[in-house]
Amino acid sequence: MSSWFTIKKIADDIFCITEPYFREHANIYLIRGTPYDLLVDCGLGVSDIKAFLVQRGFKPRVFLTHAHFDHSGGIRAFTPQEIMVTAKVLQNLRDSTRWGKEFLLARDFDAVA
């Protein structure tokens, strides 16, 4: 299988990451910084986004904009110290009825090569 993720530089120190096999994908943004790189959302969690980025020389920490599955599923790859959320997002993460997973359908995925 080719990589689950694609990464494209869109400006100095700003990258857009996508999950091309998920048709309803959400864009994930990475902003290079010091001492870590800021990952805005972290995708579905089908593949390990942290490992993908570390292999490319990034030091990611993630900020979640909201708790929907396509934006927060990848948090399982991060330690609690590497995750930043607002109190409301944390509350919604703890309530699985807020994840939007009822919208996840098999037809939303393309065949993986």
Q: Which pLDDT tens digit goes with each residue over 16-67?
A: 999 988 877 778 999 999 999 999 999 998 899 999 999 999 999 999 999 8
Look up the pTM and report it.
Answer: 0.84
- Tokens representing 13 are 């120190």
| Contact between 82 and 61 (Cβ < 8 Å) | yes
CA 104 to centroid of chain Cα atoms: 16
Place 1 in a pLDDT band, splitting at 50, 70 and 90.
very low
